[in-house]
Structure 1
Amino acid sequence: MANILSVENLTHHWGDIRLFNSLTFGLEEGEKAALIARNGTGKTTLLNILAGKQVPDGGTVTIRKGIRTGYLVQDPVFPAGKTVIESLLSGDNELIKAVRDYEEALESNDQALIGKMVEKMDAMGAWDYETRVRQVLDKLKITRLNQPVEQLSGGQQKRLALAAVLLEEPDFIILDEPTNHLDIDMVDWLEDYLSRNRATLLMVTHDRFFLDRVCNVVFEMDDETLYKYTGNYSYFLEKRDERIDQRNQEIDRARNLLRKEQDWMNRQPQARATKAKYRIDAYYELKEVAGQKTREADLSIDIKASRLGTKVLNFDNVSKGFNGKTLIRDFSYKFAKGEKIGILGSNGTGKSTLLNIINGDIKPDTGSIELGETVVVGYYRQEGIKFDENKKVIEVISEIADDIDAGNGRRMDAAQFLRYFLFPNEMHYVPVSKLSGGEKKRLYLMTVLMKNPNFLILDEPTNDLDVYTLGVLEDYLDRFEGCVLAVSHDRYFLDRVVDQMFVFQDGFIKVFPGNYSRYHEYIKENAKPAEPKIKKPVAEKREPSRERQRRLSFKEKKELEELEKRMAALEEEKKALEEMMSSGAMASDELIKASERMGVLLKELDECEMRWLELSEIEG
């Protein structure tokens, strides 16, 4: 395999802190590598340097001549004044330019210009590319192509930036947290896309399922050094433990030998003068090894929750909607002490609405909610909180409380609490603006846990946290004696933490007993193989027996049969239409009509699928 990337003696500092020192590594063509390190150790800085966005303090980065590089930054920003489609098709790729000109011609409805652009698309064979644009946008749920980009949320902008990178079809793809702001269906699709793509890949991600299934190389940055493991994430975990054990044994041996050499060095200089210089040099090398730490500074969360009584939280026929759309319909549930529940659902299905109702931020339209007297809610929001970027780190904590109850009679001041969460003394008076994204999230987690909540609401808690901190958080939640309600697209996190699922669909919340993998297996087992395009039904809700006895009427059964025939016909028409649009043989006016028909088809298919799901759940 040919070499794509060569890095030699790369060194960089952040202020007085050296992030990495003399890093030397490379990537071969087709390798798919993950970069793993603790928050604040320079992962994003390293990616910026590799992508040419930042200049290192020392060393060289060489990307093979002729290689096109695509870079997804952690927090993309698009210039205002452009639409989604203009921002998406802003690259220098000739195919992108052709498709962009064609889309603009369609928008202008200038028949002469459309004809000219059709000829250009024909000449370049760009119709397949235009189809891929539509497919990628559909998978990432980017639908309003003429919407001003400044109106997009942060998550929508991240998905748009991801689409732009993938559609440029670079030879070398660099991705910084690509799964943030993607739902599980999108993550599944991206996982499959990158696995089949021939491009060389380097990415930072916390999604351990994603790492396991996509990557065949793992780089670990630790103690200013880079270690390479040829294998997936599971292999990395095994070999990393072996590396640490071996290093600890070497340090222990060096310390034992150092005692003897120290006696020799402590003798009079005259006694050493006749000894070999190599032994003196070896002594200092031995002393350097023996001075290393045998254990890493690991975070270990052990903040005790407030006492939780028998009555926790009761929902009785709660409904809530906005702008005529019902997001939660007749939801009844009694939360029990110790329950840990994961939440699944597409964007806009009401997940955040439920969390905000529990937190008291919004009121339900109908129904009632009873909160136990001993319940203390801790709400970790996806968007975090807006820190004053000029404040010092220690001020963020001390302004909430300077005397923190850690449980079991332990109390900490702000400085002790920061050290407990691996913020060393030299970081206490650093402005918040200097923290990495992951460090800010860790600081935010501290502000939630220091109030000793016994009902934790976690909205995408895994975003921006490194895999080590995630493991510690999962251990803490496993021991947590209160209730946990978590929205997450991180399948590994859901498997590790939760024991049942709330599945949001069409305004209803279905309760499934089990973690994400059990739910996923249930969906696979109950999927209809003859209808691969149809969204699969969700797990049956544990409702009163009268609902379980509900069966389809004769009329509904006939409707279900007709829906299946109709969807098959629509799929066939859609497939034929895609082939015609990709052939390059259609006139400009025919193309416009075909595009309009495709929009009608997709809308009708979606409506049919939704109705099919309603009927098939009753039938099941």
Structure 2
Amino acid sequence: MANIVNLDRVSKGYGAAGQLLTDVSLGLDDADRVGVVGLNGAGKSTLLRLLTKLEEPDSGRVTHRRDLRIAWLPQSLELAADATVKDVVLGTAWLDEGFGAEHEWAGDAGVRSILDGLGMPHLGLDQPVGPMSGGERRRVALAALLVRTADLIVLDEPTNHLDVAGIDWLARHLVTKRGALVVVTHDRWFLDAVCTATWEVGDQQVRAYEGGFAAWTLARVERERIAAATEARRQNLLRKEIAWLRRGPPARTSKPRFRIDAANALIADVPPPRDSVSLRRLATARLGKQVYDLERVTLHAGPKRILDDVTWQVGPGDRIAILGANGAGKTTLLRLLAGRLAPDAGTFRTGATVRTAFLSQELAELPNQLRLLEAVEEVAKRVQLGDRELSAAQLAEVFGFADRRVWTPVGDLSGGERRRLQLLRLLATEPNVLLLDEPTNDLDTDTLASLEDLLDSWPGTLIVASHDRYLVERVTDTVYAVGDGALRHLVGGVEEYLASVSPDDQGVTRRVAGASRERIPDQRVDPRAARKELARLERAVAKLEQREAALHDEMARHATDYTRVAELDAQLKGVQAERAEAEEAWLTLAEQVPDH
């Protein structure tokens, strides 16, 4: 690997936002795949602009390898209204370098496959971008970036406006694309599928970790356990997150690189994410037997038929995910359930005890003249959520509004903070049915974890329309797909949905320990032989850990003998490499053995 970008003691701040980065030093190699995480406003986008030299640091230095080619997708971009798809994707309407006249649109299979993968197979060469929606323009810009060759790809929220299938395609495409990658996204499944390292931006610093989102989550638990024992509440939340990552559905094939015994000990006493039986019993008591009953319902959105003679029942305590391509009708279905639309034909009945809260994609009117805590107390001063009673201030803290932030005027909140407040006020009404339309928009990973923890103990009926695969697998139990007038139950969940829209019979993309990825054909292994090998690897790891501990002790005894310490350090590195190799082999084999 060769170094391509360096940040040397870089600092950056802005008048209103204050100091974001202080004395940050980082290096980026030509094969690095880095996910950037952190709270909203911590400086993630600023870090990307510094990396690309779109902004200069207040102090310090950013250096690039000579002739470094960078492809950059910002959060917001401007395309000329009169530009065509050809101008943007093949020409120079947005990026510096075009393909040239020799490239023919119809003959370039690579360009067409990228547009198809991003959900735009209908686009023509001369179609103007001006009349397109914001999501379509962003996908055209992303296509323009992907068709070019670059040494470094920098993406700021690339999964925005992509559906589940589009996100899955983009992850697989980036895994096979050569060059370095730095990406900011709140999509945790995407981070684990694509990234081999994680940079955490916070407290004006950038901390680097090996592995994707799962490995970073474990590292945070370890760091906080050692350095901040007083933060017990936050540690418990992160431990619950690790428990989910280890106990998640079989479809989850990415596992972090970490010490097996340490990880098992860490989560051994953590209960399952939720007690479905108890929650369902509570939900039945609060909701009665009926929530929604659709009988031979037909529903249109303008001229488009969303549901065609559909019969469907939703019961108390059901936790349902609605999947579908952009424009398939997910939002229209939720609006029907919320009572904002009537069916064109058939019967739609709502249970007598149902109290619905609907989180739409649009930001509802908020009381800008009030302070944040007052805006929550305007709805309720105390809230009962499952078995937990929270004050308005405690509920605000769950959603990331702590200390003096609760006294911020609502009118001064950012878009992400307004989204959080909108959801917070909905929950404060104590509904027993939650309808969530893309609830993860504008929320950072910490806030998402808090939201999921809250939903774990919420006993009502939950219906979520989302492209966030991690959220879908984390908080729901049943998956339905809407499209072509039908509502299909997917027993296999997200994996079944992806197979139906983008079948792949060549194998599965798997994430191997240490975050290297390879294409592994589907194959069967002998379970008995595999379990014996797993046991052998576990014994090998245990012995290597004992050897590693002994070397540490011996180094401590010879601390003043620099020659001996150097010899022991060389031995230690060899043992650590052997242990890492054994753990990697264990994790790879464990994915292929059922009920290991």
Give the TM-score taking structure 2 as reference length.
Answer: 0.68
Paired with 2:369 and 2:152, the residues of 1 have a C-alpha distance of 39
1:483 aligns with 2:461: yes
List per-residue Cα deviations over 1:201-236 (Å, max 9, x = no partner): 101112222212211111112333221112233322
1:451 aligns with 2:429: yes
Paired with 1:155 and 1:92, the residues of 2 have a C-alpha distance of 16
Contact 2:437 2:465 in 1 (8 A): yes
Aligned to 2:111: 133
Aligned to 1:345: 324
Q: For the structure 1 residues 241 and 152, does the alpha-carbon distance in structure 2 shift closer, same or farther, using more than 3 Å as the test?
A: same
Q: CA deviation at 1:200?
A: 0.9
Instruction: Look up the SS of the partner of 1:356 in the other structure.
Output: helix
Q: CA deviation at 1:462?
A: 2.1
Q: For the structure 1 residues 232 and 423, does the alpha-carbon distance in structure 2 shift closer, same or farther, using more than 3 Å as the test?
A: closer
Selected match of 2:364 from 361, 385, 409: 385
RMSD: 3.6
Aligned to 2:33: 32
Which letter maps to 2:329?
Answer: G
Q: CA deviation at 1:26?
A: 1.4
Contact 1:220 1:226 in 2 (8 A): yes
1:199 aligns with 2:179: yes
Contact 2:225 2:235 in 1 (8 A): no
Instruction: Look up the SS of the partner of 1:59 in the other structure.
Output: strand
Instruction: Look up the SS of the partner of 2:313 in the other structure.
Output: strand
Q: CA deviation at 1:297?
A: 9.5
List per-residue Cα deviations over 1:396-452 (Å, max 9, x = no partner): 826953745345795745x66544533245434556676454333322221322222
Paired with 1:201 and 1:509, the residues of 2 have a C-alpha distance of 38
Q: In the TM superposition, what are the counterparts of 1:482-561 in structure 2 within 5 Å?
A: 482-513=460-491, 515-517=493-495, 519=496
Q: In the TM superposition, what are the counterparts of 1:113-262 in structure 2 within 5 Å?
A: 121=102, 130-142=108-120, 143-145=122-124, 146-248=126-228
Q: For the structure 1 residues 75 and 245, does the alpha-carbon distance in structure 2 shift closer, same or farther, using more than 3 Å as the test?
A: same
Selected match of 1:358 from 324, 337, 340: 337
Q: CA deviation at 1:153?
A: 2.1
Higher gyration radius (CA): 1
Q: CA deviation at 1:355?
A: 0.8
Contact 2:34 2:195 in 1 (8 A): yes
Aligned to 1:48: 49
Aligned to 2:372: 394
Selected match of 1:460 from 432, 438, 445: 438
Q: CA deviation at 1:195?
A: 0.4
Selected match of 2:300 from 309, 313, 321: 321
List per-residue Cα deviations over 1:126-166 (Å, max 9, x = no partner): 78994322222222233344444232223222212211222
Paired with 2:7 and 2:108, the residues of 1 have a C-alpha distance of 36
Q: Which runs of 5+ in 2 are unaligned?
A: 241-273, 275-281, 509-596
Which letter maps to 2:64?
Answer: I
Paired with 1:474 and 1:421, the residues of 2 have a C-alpha distance of 11
Paired with 1:75 and 1:337, the residues of 2 have a C-alpha distance of 41
Paired with 1:321 and 1:295, the residues of 2 have a C-alpha distance of 47
Q: CA deviation at 1:25?
A: 0.8
List per-residue Cα deviations over 1:101-148 (Å, max 9, x = no partner): xxxxxxxxxxxxxxxxxxxx1xxx778994322222222233344444
List per-residue Cα deviations over 1:241-291 (Å, max 9, x = no partner): 222223237xx9xxxxxxxxxxxxxxxxxxxxxxxxxxxxxxxxxxxxxxx
Q: For the structure 1 residues 528 and 515, does the alpha-carbon distance in structure 2 shift closer, same or farther, using more than 3 Å as the test?
A: closer
List per-residue Cα deviations over 1:292-313 (Å, max 9, x = no partner): x7875998999x9994333211
Contact 2:35 2:191 in 1 (8 A): yes
Which letter maps to 2:330?
Answer: K
Instruction: Look up the SS of the partner of 1:150 in the other structure.
Output: coil
Q: CA deviation at 1:475?
A: 2.1
Aligned to 1:3: 3
Which letter maps to 2:354?
Answer: V
Q: For the structure 1 residues 411 and 497, does the alpha-carbon distance in structure 2 shift closer, same or farther, using more than 3 Å as the test?
A: closer
Paired with 1:335 and 1:364, the residues of 2 have a C-alpha distance of 17
Q: CA deviation at 1:367?
A: 1.0
Paired with 1:247 and 1:311, the residues of 2 have a C-alpha distance of 50
Aligned to 1:96: 98
Q: For the structure 1 residues 224 and 218, does the alpha-carbon distance in structure 2 shift closer, same or farther, using more than 3 Å as the test?
A: same
Contact 2:37 2:198 in 1 (8 A): yes
Paired with 1:458 and 1:194, the residues of 2 have a C-alpha distance of 30
Which letter maps to 1:35?
Answer: V
Q: CA deviation at 1:335?
A: 1.2
Contact 1:500 1:514 in 2 (8 A): no
Which letter maps to 1:216?
Answer: T
Instruction: Look up the SS of the partner of 1:227 in the other structure.
Output: strand
List per-residue Cα deviations over 1:549-589 (Å, max 9, x = no partner): xxxxxxxxxxxxxxxxxxxxxxxxxxxxxxxxxxxxxxxxx
Q: For the structure 1 residues 505 and 128, does the alpha-carbon distance in structure 2 shift closer, same or farther, using more than 3 Å as the test?
A: closer
List per-residue Cα deviations over 1:338-368 (Å, max 9, x = no partner): 0001112222222221111111222211012
Contact 1:376 1:454 in 2 (8 A): yes
Equivalences, count: 460
Contact 2:373 2:396 in 1 (8 A): no
Which letter maps to 1:506?
Answer: D
Contact 2:79 2:93 in 1 (8 A): no
Paired with 1:438 and 1:449, the residues of 2 have a C-alpha distance of 17
Paired with 1:522 and 1:79, the residues of 2 have a C-alpha distance of 37
Q: CA deviation at 1:529?
A: 5.7
Instruction: Look up the SS of the partner of 2:154 in the other structure.
Output: strand
Aligned to 1:62: 63
Q: CA deviation at 1:393?
A: 5.4
Q: In the TM superposition, what are the counterparts of 1:396-415 in structure 2 within 5 Å?
A: 397=375, 400-401=378-379, 403-406=381-384, 412=391
Aligned to 1:71: 72
Which letter maps to 1:6?
Answer: N
Instruction: Look up the SS of the partner of 2:100 in the other structure.
Output: helix
Contact 2:291 2:314 in 1 (8 A): yes
Aligned to 2:313: 334
Contact 1:77 1:157 in 2 (8 A): no
Aligned to 1:371: 350
Contact 2:481 2:497 in 1 (8 A): no
Instruction: Look up the SS of the partner of 2:13 in the other structure.
Output: strand
Paired with 1:226 and 1:135, the residues of 2 have a C-alpha distance of 36
Instruction: Look up the SS of the partner of 1:8 in the other structure.
Output: strand
List per-residue Cα deviations over 1:300-335 (Å, max 9, x = no partner): 999x99943332111111101245442201111221
Contact 2:334 2:435 in 1 (8 A): yes
Q: For the structure 1 residues 30 and 392, does the alpha-carbon distance in structure 2 shift closer, same or farther, using more than 3 Å as the test?
A: farther
Instruction: Look up the SS of the partner of 2:227 in the other structure.
Output: helix
Aligned sequence identity (%)? 34
Structure 1 window deviating more from structure 2 (9-18 vs 447-456): it is 9-18
Paired with 1:417 and 1:244, the residues of 2 have a C-alpha distance of 23
Paired with 2:444 and 2:104, the residues of 1 have a C-alpha distance of 40
